[in-house]
Amino acid sequence: MPGMASAHSHAFQRALRGRTQSRNANKLTAAGNFWSWRDQMFQLVAELTPDDVLAISRFAFVELAMCGVTAVGEFHYVHHDVGGKPYANRLVMSEAVIEAAAEAGIRLSLIRTGYYRAGYGQTLHEGQKRFCDDATEQTLRDVQALTALTVGKTDHFRVAIAAHSIRACQQQQYLDLSAYAKQHHLPFHMHVSEQQREVDECVAEYGKRPVELLADDGVLDARFVAIHATHLLPHESALMGRANAIACICRTTERDLGDGLPVAADLAQAGVRFCVGADSHAASDAFEEVRAIELDERARHERRIVAAQGEALLAAATTHGYAAIGYADMLGQDQVYLRADDPSIADAMIGSRAETVTDAVVFGANARAVDRVIVGGKMIVDGGRHIHYDAALASYLACLKRLS
């Protein structure tokens, strides 16, 4: 099968897996909701060094490769040192992610993210200071500097732009970033309506819901990728569909954080293209990410085949995923070989027609079925194991011990 894209990743958050799931007396883990989870994420961010980001990201990417992911869009927003002071080398955190992807052997789109405020009428949290630039001019200078690093490497390393969200960017700021992306034909990503509170704050500030605002501002187009698109009304799905925009659904993370459930059937009916992302790396299973678009919608509607069938879901994981992160021209250059005798798909493969083989893979396969992964002609997974798995795991575990 073609290689799959994980179009939305915060690789450093892999270090949080399993650490935020329960409450206890001293509140070290407050289960609560997205916002209490975010507080814990801020605690992790406060400790991270560039070496930590390298170790965590490398292992996160190795894990994704072992489940058939060959290209990643890293929505990168940890830019600065503790307290928000820029490093002497402003790109040092970005370069750690770039090195991690190169060592894992995957294609990377470094999505340089603009983040400027805590939210409408809110005070900046200490943990957010490492994310924030003072102005869009700084963000775009970094984009230009990163683009210069891609020279001679564009088969495996490219750059895109994001405005973190409407709550983290004022209107003129996301317009500046969007204009640059349009001018340079780059993908433009943004968290959109992930939380109902985000929608309410947008209405309070602008008198419009997020997608309404973005549509009126001319931001929506075929290169726009709405991350999550969870709390949309039907007319917002229609606005995205008319713009030929992409919705990046991240179900394992959205489930984990209690974000809510995007109305995938409305989005599909409106003609919105889907892609998927590992997001917080709550799980590393590209097959589950993509089939969950349909399976979770079945739970809402209490019937089957609601949003997308196997072929459309496969396109979300491959064709639309590669397009969302600026690698449409590389589609088909990467291959994932599955074990046809793996129990997750073997029964459906016996005597199957072509369309049911696709269904068997999309709805049945998991990482265990992945045998070999080839990116740009180089094998990075062989016999289900990444060629650098042991070294990546060792450095990751050492990093976790240091971060306690």
Q: What does the pLDDT average to over 95-110?
A: 98
Half-sphere exposure of 368 (CA within 13 A, CB side): 8
- Least confident range from 16-25, 48-57, 200-209, 226-235: namely 16-25
Look up the pTM and report it.
Answer: 0.96
What's the pLDDT at 35? 77
Burial label, 208 (beta-carbon count in 10 A; 0-12, 13-18, 19+): middle
CB 222 within 8 A of CB 183: no
Which secondary structure element, helix H or strand E, spans residue 275, and what is its range? strand 273-276
Over the stretch 264-273, which tens digit does the pLDDT of each residue have? 999 999 999 9
Going by C-alpha positions, the residue among 25, 110, 29, 117 that lies closest to residue 71 is 110
What's the pLDDT at 25? 42
- Residues involved in catalysis: 228, 279
Over the stretch 18-47, which tens digit does the pLDDT of each residue have? 888 876 544 554 457 887 888 889 999 999
pLDDT at 350 over 80: no
**DSSP 8-class letter at 126:** G
Over the stretch 195-214, which tens digit does the pLDDT of each residue have? 999 999 999 999 999 999 99
Q: What does the pLDDT average to over 241-264?
A: 95
What's the pLDDT at 27? 56
What's the pLDDT at 26? 46
CB 386 within 8 A of CB 393: no
375 vs 182: CA distance, rounded Å = 29
pLDDT at 10 over 60: yes
- Burial track 314-343 (b if 16+ CB lie within 10 A, e otherwise): bbbbbbbbbbbbbbeebbebbbbbbbeebe
399 vs 404: CA distance, rounded Å = 9
pLDDT at 287 over 50: yes
**DSSP 8-class letter at 47:** T
Give domain limits for the chain. 4-403
What's the pLDDT at 23? 66
What's the pLDDT at 152? 94
First-to-last C-alpha distance (Å) of the chain: 40
| Angle, CA of 74, 256 and 174, to the nearest 5° | 40
pLDDT at 177 over 80: yes
The widest CA-to-CA distance across the chain, in whole angstroms, is 61
The 10 Å Cβ neighbour count of residue 258 is 12
**Reading across the β-sheet that carries 157-165, which strands appear in turn?**
4-9, 69-76, 107-114, 157-165, 188-192, 224-228, 246-249, 273-276
What's the pLDDT at 21? 80
Burial label, 88 (beta-carbon count in 10 A; 0-12, 13-18, 19+): exposed
Mean pLDDT of all residues belonging to the chain: 94
Which secondary structure element, helix H or strand E, spans residue 246, and what is its range? strand 246-249
pLDDT at 161 over 70: yes
The CATH fold assigned to 4-403 is TIM Barrel (3.20.20)
Q: Provide, rounded to the nearest whole percent, the portion of the chain with pLDDT above 90.
A: 88
Going by C-alpha positions, the residue among 264, 238, 237, 239 that lies closest to residue 251 is 264
CA–CA distances in Å: residue 337 to residues 1, 341, 367: 6, 12, 11
What's the pLDDT at 24? 59
